[in-house]
A and B are shown apart, each in its own frame.
Chain A
């Protein structure tokens, strides 16, 4: 069974700090990786996608991919209370995505 693992949290960080969210996956053949943000009671929204080893930056968000170690991470700089949500990692598997259970992030003022 192909798996995507995330620490469920909650991860608590103070406002202005860097939040680091991690995800590991089991299928070495995976090539596409996604981070979704899900507010309580809402549907997931895409934040970042990454396909190559290394870092990809978009505003306050940086996705990091290391295929050799089979992990992908999301860094959120200058965390804001509005970033408080559950962050889902998703990995491609043939013709669909497999989602992790998500990490709950709490940013306190």
Chain B
């Protein structure tokens, strides 16, 4: 059963705590992405990785950290430095990094809804 899995589905965090969101894919995709979505908003890119042991900041990387030690895994840590972390977090992957003219597409996991109490 191939796809992208994210866990947990719902996550509650107290202020000042770090939390780590899991993203795993068994599609053999090289590229993986983390997005944040706020109510009524589009997707904003947090971090992305085109290859193992390498990743780049997206548009809203402050207060977040990632690692890419394995091809199939791209965990996201929401640190206490993130001032407003309550949001819907989406992980995505694609065969290769998106390039102009590429026909690769991104596929999304089911998401993790994080709430800060």
Contacts and interface: CB of A to CB of B under 8 A. Distances in A.
Contacts of A95: 48, 50, 97-99
Interface string B86-104: 0000100000011111110
A93 B42 CA distance: 16
B2 interface: no
Contact of B42 (A49, A92, A100): A100
Given A43-B109, A43-B110, A96-B33, A32 B102 contact: yes
A92 B99 contact: yes
A30 B100 contact: yes
B85 interface: no
Interface in A79-106: 88, 90, 92-97, 99-102
A79 to B, nearest CB: 22
Contact of B58 (A43, A49, A96): A96
Nearest to B96: A95
B48 A99 contact: no
A34 interface: yes
A74 to B, nearest CB: 15
Contacts of B110: 42-43
B100 A94 contact: yes
B41 interface: yes
A96 B45 contact: yes
A34 B98 CA distance: 12
B101 A44 contact: no
Interface of A: 4, 8, 29-32, 34, 36, 42-46, 49, 51, 88, 90, 92-97, 99-102
6 contacts: A29-B100, A43-B109, A88-B43, A92-B98, A95-B97, A96-B33
